[in-house]
Amino acid sequence: MTRYVLIKVLRSIFTLWIVVSAVFLVLRASGDPLYSVFSLGTPEATLDVFRAKWGIDKSIFEQYVIYLGDILRGDFGTSFFDGQSAWDLVTERLPKTLLLGGTTFVISVIAGVLLGTIAALKRGTVWDRGIMTAAVASFSMPSYFLALLLILLFSLKLRWLPTAGADTWKHLILPATTLGLTLSGSIARFTRSAMLEVLRQSYMRTARAKGAPRWRQIAWHALPNAAIPTVTVIGFQLGWLIGGSVVIETVFAWPGAGRLFITSVGVRDFAVVQLFILMVASTVILANLLVDILYGFLDPRISVTGGGGK
Amino acid sequence: MIDPSNTGPDAARATPLLEVRGLSVVFDTPDGCHRVVDNVDLQVSAGRTLGLVGESGSGKSVTCLAVLRLLAVRGRVTSGEVLFQGRDLLKVSEEEMEALRGCQIGMVFQDPMVSLNPVRTIGWQIAESLHLHQNLSKSGAAKRTLELLDLVGIPEPKTRFGEYPHQFSGGMSQRAMIAMAIACQPKLLIADEPTTALDVTIQAQILELLSDLKKELDMALILITHDLGVIAEAADDVAVMYAGRVVEEAPVLDLFDSPLHHYTMGLLNSLPRIDRSVDRLSAIEGAAPPPQDFVEGCRFEPRCGHCDDACSGVRPDFSQISDTRRVACMHPVAAT
């Protein structure tokens, strides 16, 4: 067990190091932040003062070593623009992002699993075709386009829901729906195929031969088995959800970390962008770790304690 | 090997526990519907074992699944009656059927390794039967489950209770399946090729277990198999099925002594036997037809060496040879 955890942790740290280094390099290759702050014609002497102040006058190698050292000490740098620490800037907006992402995630998982199960049980019927058509449509449509359609209908036409901001629960509905439709669509599809696979297994016939009522066959025999492949997919979707929320926060002017990220990329605010991506990478790694642990609970054939993998 | 005291005519004449009359099952496929079970009659009484023997595809499993109404979606019963204790199971509601399954009628399937739910403990799966049909407390059900594990000969029931199917060998899994099926002391146990997936040594143990349990619980047992050795060892009465029809019925000793149908004869001749010395085992020419090639007349006719014009075209009626024997053949093997 200890060995297993140790390997996992080491591998995670390695992944994070790759991510951090790649972002560091790409950001510095993408242009000088000074030119997005100062107008053309600012004297070089002034620019040099800021270069020295922000620590980008040194060679890229020196900068990299300093940066890694800072991260290890828990110092994530300062925003070039308002001088606040990047950590404060991001964490200040994080609750809003978590609210949007969390709501979306919970509702999508429930709706996706439920709809996928119904589609599998009613295979080949109108229910199945209806749910699957909707699922494919929702996840093949770009989320910003879906967002615009929803805004047109519910905000401009019906005038029921606000289009921007995050003041009330009403503000949450449109962005969460947009993100959630896409997510639950793909979860529904995966749940359906996992369920179909499970339903034709012999042990389902055993459950019927035992006299278990239909709902019990589904809830106690089929779902726990179908959950094994479905959980993997849901774990992967978490990374997608973060990416999607960056777009959706921008479309709906949701004051979360995602929108801060887009702004920061635009102005090459190194520290903020670096921290944001580090956080996203950590979240995805944690989610995958969680999936691995969940596996052990869901599938008794996988022994985490044995030190083996999947 | 065979207990002659058990095969007297009196036992067979008792009111049957289960009586199948004129059962037909069709499967709907994209290229038409096939009648895979055609007008089958069967009966079995308490304390008796009916061996249902036939090749793969002869309809023996489908018949039994139809009895429990466990057919897959594309299979449906088109005619017939399934009388269990005088009640027609084909007419009762699904709820009543659920109450019967696993309670009055237990079923054991062919491949125990895939017939157990991989994510549930053995104990949980056996206790579920009790939970569904008997008003037991949680600890009561657990205690009874341990007794059942012990009854079917699983060593260290306490440890095994919490283990998962993948930790069980094939033989142990089948014992667990049997424990599950007999948990509520059913009146009828249907065992569909219970030993086919197991090693020969384990096969004998499982058959012995089934026979013991049958006596202990005074059950009726339907044993589906393609293995005449299993029939000889465990059955009291035998029904031979070929291409969806029963072709011969007889007490087990009579069947082995003097088969009446040429198909039964062929099966027996293809069997290595200690009491007859043969250099070469004979095989029945040809192969059993798939459902789409089923003919109206005698279905064995194309492979039979004793047929004439009378055999094709008309389904041969059963001729009642004695109280307990009947055969569906125009020219049955002459009794010796």
> Would you say residue A117 has pLDDT above 90?
yes
Best residue of B64, B71, B110, B119 to probe chain A, by most A CBs closer than 10 Å: B119
Q: Of the given ranges (A76-85, A212-221, B41-50, B268-277), which has the lowest mean pLDDT?
A: B268-277
Q: Which residue from B129, B126, B131 is spatially nearest to B146, judged by alpha carbons?
A: B126
Neighbouring CB atoms inside 10 A of A65's CB total 12
Q: Which residue from B99, B89, B5 is spatially nearest to B48, judged by alpha carbons?
A: B5
B206-253 residue pLDDT tens? 899 999 999 988 999 999 998 898 999 899 999 999 999 999 999 999
Is the Cβ pair B119, A300 closer than 8 Å?
Answer: yes
pLDDT attached to residue B79: 92
> Would you say residue B10 has pLDDT above 60?
no
Question: Which residues, including other chains, have CB under 8 Å from residue B124's CB and lie 6 or more apart?
Answer: none
> Would you say residue A268 has pLDDT above 50?
yes
For B277-290, what is the mean pLDDT? 78
Q: How many CA atoms lie within 13 A of A244 on its CB side?
A: 28
Nearest chain A residue to B189 by CA distance is A209
Q: Which residue has the higher pLDDT, A284 or A305?
A: A284
Nearest chain B residue to A300 by CA distance is B119
Q: How far apart are CA A296 and CA A8, in angstroms?
A: 15
B137-195 residue pLDDT tens? 899 999 999 999 999 989 999 999 999 999 999 889 999 999 999 999 999 999 999 98
Question: Band of the pLDDT at A219, cuts 50, 70, 90?
Answer: very high
For B54-67, what is the mean pLDDT? 91
> Would you say residue B107 has pLDDT above 90?
yes
Nearest chain A residue to B180 by CA distance is A210
Is the Cβ pair B103, A212 closer than 8 Å?
Answer: no
pLDDT attached to residue B111: 87
Best residue of A206, A223, A230 to probe chain B, by most B CBs closer than 10 Å: A206
Element (H, E) at A56: none
Question: Which residues, including other chains, have CB under 8 Å from residue A247's CB and lie 6 or more apart?
Answer: A143, A144, A258
Chain B CB contacts of A211 under 8 Å are: 98-103, 129, 132-133
Chain B CB contacts of A221 under 8 Å are: 117, 120
Q: Of the given ranges (A209-218, A244-253, B121-130), which has the lowest mean pLDDT?
A: A244-253
> Would you say residue A38 has pLDDT above 80?
no
List residues bridging with B191 in a β-sheet.
Answer: B108, B223
Q: Which residue has the higher pLDDT, A37 or B145?
A: B145
**Rounded (5°) CA angle A166-A172-A173:** 145
List residues bridging with A62 in a β-sheet.
Answer: none
B253-263 residue pLDDT tens? 999 988 999 89
Q: How many CA atoms lie within 13 A of B196 on its CB side?
A: 17
Residue A143 contacts residue A70 (beta carbons within 8 Å): no
Among the partner-chain residues A210, A216, A299, the one whose CB lies closest to the CB of B119 is A299
> Would you say residue B1 has pLDDT above 60?
no
A56-111 residue pLDDT tens? 778 888 889 988 998 888 888 888 877 888 888 888 888 888 899 999 999 999 99
Chain A CB contacts of B102 under 8 Å are: 209-212
Q: How far apart are CA B240 and CA B327, in angstroms?
A: 10
Is the Cβ pair A206, B99 closer than 8 Å?
Answer: no
Question: Band of the pLDDT at A210, cuts 50, 70, 90?
Answer: very high
pLDDT attached to residue B9: 46
A173-206 residue pLDDT tens? 888 888 899 899 999 999 999 999 999 999 999 9
Question: Band of the pLDDT at B2, cuts 50, 70, 90?
Answer: very low
Q: How far apart are CA B293 and CA A214, in angstroms?
A: 36
Written in H, E and C, the secondary structure of chain B is CCCHHHHCHHHHHCCCCEEEEEEEEEEEECCEEEEEEEEEEEEECCCCEEEEECCCCCCHHHHHHHHCCCCCCCEEEEEEEEEECCEECCCCCHHHHHHHECCCEEEECCCHHHHCCCCCCHHHHHHHHHHHHCCCCHHHHHHHHHHHHHHCCCCCHHHHHCCCHHHCCHHHHHHHHHHHHHCCCCCEEEEECCCCCCCHHHHHHHHHHHHHHHHHHCCEEEEEECCHHHHHHHCCEEEEEECCEEEEEEEHHHHHHCCCCHHHHHHHHCCCCCCCCCCCCCCCCCCCCCHHHCCCCCCCHHHCCCCCHHHCCCCCCCEECCCCCEECCCCCCCCC
> Would you say residue B13 has pLDDT above 70?
no
pLDDT attached to residue B276: 65
> Would you say residue A310 has pLDDT above 80?
no
Please state the φ and ψ torsions of residue B49, each to the nearest 5 degrees.
-115, 120
Is the Cβ pair A206, B109 closer than 8 Å?
Answer: yes
